[in-house]
């Protein structure tokens, strides 16, 4: 396999290349941050059932729609089915998400995790519930309740399994993606099936932009390169990383910030980066949940 994981261009672009993430935000804080994001130009918003903020996202966007700041048709909203709702609860959970958001449709609905809550990682029931959950998504898609369907945190194995029985192909796979975590096999599987890749935690949970981390040599080495590129480009470290993912790797990204100024900086990301990768003997560093052990 080539060491170059850039997409071949076969994937149809469904989700915008830059989305505003709402993980761990609720209430007035979320409304303020989302309004700032819309004001600077974001038109793609990412939420999930497990974030417990779909109602806040819907209310905040509803206020903006009513005020004429932005129209519903101009905003792309993604949500995700919780592992607790995998299987027979999946379809009803989609209806519940629509009700909380107060939308007639959701632009993109994902299976949040390949596993189901309450089962051991090696249980054969994970595969069965994934299939049942996908059938619920296909039903919602056929009924016009969701416009696109996809997955999140699926490995190569999970992608291949799904594509073996899906009547409607997954449009997106949202995975952890940053210079120290480039899952080549998963990227290749997505490219072969025309699945768009969207990356979350593009800043490595912040570890790639905040000071030297002596406990993580790979992160510390990456930070040094990022700072050099940022200084040479008159950009922030976050802008460099986002531009690296979007422009060089061709991966859409989800970014999250509570700061209106940071939201603006991220949106106008203006630097380029190459050479900070988990290739060439640099250890692969994963900062978020690891789905590889889910059967």
Query: Which residues are the active-site residues?
Result: 51
CB-based burial, 195-216: b 16+ in 10 Å, e otherwise: bbbbbbbbbbbebbbeeebeeb
Provide the strand spans (E) within the chain: 18-21, 44-46, 76-81, 106-111, 146-152, 172-176, 196-200, 252-255
Q: Give every CB contact of residue 100 below 8 A, 6+ residues apart in sequence.
A: 54, 55, 58
Q: Is 39 helix (H, G, I), strand (E, B) or coil?
A: helix
- What's the angle, vertex CA 82, arms to CA 79 and CA 87, rounded to 5? 115
Asked whether 132 and 85 are in contact (CB, 8 A), the reply is no
Q: Which two tokens stand for residue 218?
A: 């790979």
Asked whether 22 and 257 are in contact (CB, 8 A), the reply is no
The rounded distance, in Å, linking the Cα atoms of 13 and 19 is 13
Asked whether 61 and 110 are in contact (CB, 8 A), the reply is no
- Which helix (H) or strand (E) covers residue 283, if one does? none
Q: Which two tokens stand for residue 7?
A: 């997409």
């Amino acid at each position: 396999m080539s060491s170059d994981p850039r997409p071949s261009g076969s994937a149809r672009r469904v989700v915008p290349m830059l989305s505003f993430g709402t993980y761990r935000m609720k209430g007035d804080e979320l409304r303020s941050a989302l309004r700032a994001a819309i004001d600077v130009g974001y038109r793609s918003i990412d939420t999930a059932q497990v974030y417990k903020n779909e109602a806040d996202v819907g209310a905040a966007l509803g206020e903006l729609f009513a005020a004429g700041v932005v129209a519903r048709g101009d905003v792309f909203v993604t949500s995700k089915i919780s592992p607790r709702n995998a299987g027979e609860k999946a379809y009803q959970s989609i209806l519940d998400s629509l009700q909380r958001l107060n939308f007639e449709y959701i632009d993109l609905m994902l299976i949040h995790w390949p596993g189901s809550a309450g089962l051991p990682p090696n249980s054969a029931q994970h595969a069965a519930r994934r299939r049942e959950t996908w059938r619920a998504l296909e039903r919602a898609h056929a009924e016009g309740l969701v416009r696109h369907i996809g997955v999140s945190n699926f490995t190569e194995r999970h992608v291949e399994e799904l594509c073996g029985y899906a009547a409607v192909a997954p449009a997106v796979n949202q995975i952890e993606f940053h210079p120290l975590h480039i899952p080549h096999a998963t990227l290749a599987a997505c490219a072969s099936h025309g699945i768009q890749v969207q990356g979350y935690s593009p800043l490595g949970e912040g570890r790639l932009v905040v000071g030297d981390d002596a406990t993580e040599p790979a992160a510390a080495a990456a930070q040094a390169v990022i700072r050099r590129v940022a200084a040479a480009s008159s950009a922030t470290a976050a802008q460099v990383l986002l531009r690296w993912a979007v422009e060089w790797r061709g991966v859409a990204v989800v970014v999250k910030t509570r700061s209106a100024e940071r939201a603006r900086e991220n949106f106008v990301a203006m630097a380029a980066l190459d050479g900070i990768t988990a290739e060439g003997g640099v250890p692969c560093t994963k900062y978020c949940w690891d789905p590889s052990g889910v059967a």
